[in-house]
Structure 1
């Protein structure tokens, strides 16, 4: 493992911990509601129970492949230099959300990273 890979892994881990703390704070203090992610029909689509997309900036899917498809995916837009929807942060897909994940990739025409250290990060 190179020094750059170690630094990248450390930064990703630190960011993940910070996101968990902020997510808990925002949810408890109701700063940014996560009502859609908390709905009964969407709970099974969340990898982690404590990291939910904020209602005001969540990614909404419009491409439907079946009648059972909904607009929900555990993902948020993130502001960048190119505007308020420059990036998408999402969880790794679960077996039951793989199609939703690829619907999002296709619909929003985004690049994604699915592996790290020569291992896949998720399903």
Structure 2
């Protein structure tokens, strides 16, 4: 059996190829248009550099995302985004792209079902 970490695309791709070769490939993951809630924590130099503002701008550019970006007391930024899985993944990709303000040392995310209650995408 191959362990797959959901945030490491290279490991995922190689594991998927290995499973395919063994004839043991698992069914595809969630549909990309399925509603999702992504909570991400971004580590690095991400406070005091406009990171939340640019995150909101990226969410608005993607469209159809609601949620917020929040500075945490330990220096990280927390992002909660709800929308389609594909739109949330697009925002997550931007967070990891290196095209963000400051310096991102790492991003950790979890996925859940949407809870609702957000009006637009806010900076908190």
Q: Could you say whether these structures have the same fold, taking a TM-score greater than 0.5 normalized by the shorter chain as the test? A: no
Higher relative contact order (CA 8 A, sep 6+): 2
Q: TM-score, normalised by structure 2?
A: 0.29
Q: TM-score, normalised by structure 1?
A: 0.29
Higher helix share: 1
